[in-house]
Structure 1
Amino acid sequence: MYFTDLTLATSTTLQAFSISDITDPVAVLNAFGPIALVGLLLVVFIESGVLFPVLPGDSLLFVAGLLTAAGTGAAVGEATYTGSAMSLPVLLIGVPIAAILGSQVGYFIGRFGGEKLFKPDARFLKTKYLDESHEFFEKYGPATLVLARFVPFVRTFAPVAAGAAHMNYVKFVIWNAIGAIIWGDGILLLGVWLGQIDWVRDNIDKIFIGIVLVSVLPIVWGVAKKYLSDRRANSSASA
């Protein structure tokens, strides 16, 4: 009876979910209703290497951390959280595990599927995403697996790039685990800490924008450096 009611409740909330809500962390969690915690772990697993990079990883973890203290019924910006209660100890253990497992899948996709899966005009599996991950990987080596966790899109494709490059598996597992723990638990605890501040809860949309801007800074910096380097090279060649 319990599982029947749980399935019905979850089905009802998922039916109310719109694809346009996919980048809204509160809407995503609410969509899973009574299994919001399980849904969060599923999203982390998918975004960590299963080639679906548009899910709200950073902001989702931040909100989850905030909700461990605020609880069901809490107002988060203009939205109200209606899903199940979030347990901080479970999240601190479960999120890194989900992230590690997702990246393992990504590694083996890259190892055995390689670049054949990516196309320049694809909607999600764009060649440029894999190329960016390759460049990141070549520049920072194994530490990429830690740094990439904090960069949208790159964190999804970095494990694939590592697999395609046939990175030593033991080394991959170690660095992947380090990155998953620092990223997952770090953002959760940041949400717990900042979530105690009323201004943060009331202006969560601005916080999300800030998270996105900080996340993409490494990409912007890399593109800017490459542009300036190419420009200097062209100037030297024409001199």
Structure 2
Amino acid sequence: MHSITDWLRGLSGPVVYAVVAALVFAEDALFFGFVLPGETAAVLGGVLAHQGRVSIGWLILAVVGAAIVGDSVGYEVGRRAGPRILDSRPLRRHRDRLADAQALIRRRGPVAVFAGRFVAFFRATMPALAGSSHMPYRRFLLFNALGGVTWGTGFPLLGYFAGSAYSRVEGAVGRTTAVLLAVVAIAVLTVWQLRRRGVIGHRHRDDDRDGRH
């Protein structure tokens, strides 16, 4: 992560917009999110905006535009070659999650397109799944745009304000303490994510069942 941040920091303003937008676009259109989630690029761009290297307004416009256009390309890919793409080798090990996403589209339709924007795996696959499910494009575009605007505004601002908070903490208590606080915050968020996804909870429940037997 530090190497990516340092690389982006060394780029000029217009190139930062282009790189962040390209990563967001590639996640939605080409399943590139399995390598580097677009939200990571958006947050890092927000941090650089706080440092004055880019404009937060132009960054948000770039991220929102890339998200909406990338999803539209992903939709078209799914509409034209959905079964072949979804059965490709990189996605075969995610068949259960893909099945869940397809079931969500059948139940919720456009709402699934909006909500999928905020989950990394679904963000990369939901457009293609919507296309392969033959969801009407106008309906897809509406909820895709709503999700793109909300997500594309929120994550750069998250990075922007996170950078601001880090600078205030660093100035008040020193760099070492600020880094330690950041590490603790990341650890807490990681545990929360694991519990939310059931990784920790399932283990405890399995142990309880074994104890009863």
In the alignment, structure 1 residue 48 sits paired with structure 2 residue 28: yes
Select which of 37, 44, 47 maps to 1:63: 44
Note the alpha carbon deviations across 1:130-178, whole angstroms, 9 max, x for none: 3242133234321112211111121010000000000011000100000
Structure 1: runs of 5 or more not aligned = 1-20, 72-84, 229-239
Instruction: Give 1:186's aligned residue.
Output: 154
Note the alpha carbon deviations across 1:52-80, whole angstroms, 9 max, x for none: 22213222212211221223xxxxxxxxx
Change (3 A) 1:116 1:172: same
Q: Which amino acid aligns with 2:24?
A: V
Structure 2: runs of 5 or more not aligned = 171-177, 206-213
Please state whether the residue corresponding to 2:134 is helix, strand or coil: coil
Write the distance in 1 (CA, Å) between the matches of 2:20 and 2:147. Answer: 18
Instruction: Give 1:5's aligned residue.
Output: none
Instruction: Give 2:5's aligned residue.
Output: 26
CA contact (8 A) 1:49 1:155 kept: no
Change (3 A) 1:116 1:180: same
Change (3 A) 1:126 1:30: farther
Matches within 5 A, 1:1-239: 25-27=4-6, 29-30=8-9, 33-34=11-12, 35-54=15-34, 55-71=36-52, 85-119=53-87, 122-124=89-91, 126=93, 128=95, 129-198=97-166, 199=169, 202=179, 220=197
Deviation at 1:193, TM superposition (A): 2.1
Q: Pick 1 or 2: higher relative contact order, CA cutoff 8 A, min separation 6.
A: 2
Write the distance in 1 (CA, Å) between the matches of 2:165 and 2:195. Answer: 26
Q: CA RMSD in A?
A: 3.2
Change (3 A) 1:127 1:62: closer
Q: Which amino acid aligns with 1:61?
A: A
Please state whether the residue corresponding to 1:177 is helix, strand or coil: helix
Q: Which amino acid aligns with 2:70?
A: G
Q: Which amino acid aligns with 2:22?
A: L
Deviation at 1:97, TM superposition (A): 0.6
Write the distance in 2 (CA, Å) between the matches of 1:52 and 1:125. Answer: 16
Note the alpha carbon deviations across 1:86-120, whole angstroms, 9 max, x for none: 21111121111111110011101110101122337
Q: How many residues align?
A: 187
Identity of aligned residues (%): 26
Write the distance in 2 (CA, Å) between the matches of 1:172 and 1:212. Answer: 32
Instruction: Give 1:4's aligned residue.
Output: none
Q: Which amino acid aligns with 1:39?
A: V
Change (3 A) 1:208 1:97: farther
CA contact (8 A) 1:66 1:195 kept: yes
Deviation at 1:210, TM superposition (A): 6.4
Please state whether the residue corresponding to 2:8 is helix, strand or coil: helix
Change (3 A) 1:100 1:196: same
The alignment's TM-score, normalised by the length of structure 1, stands at: 0.66
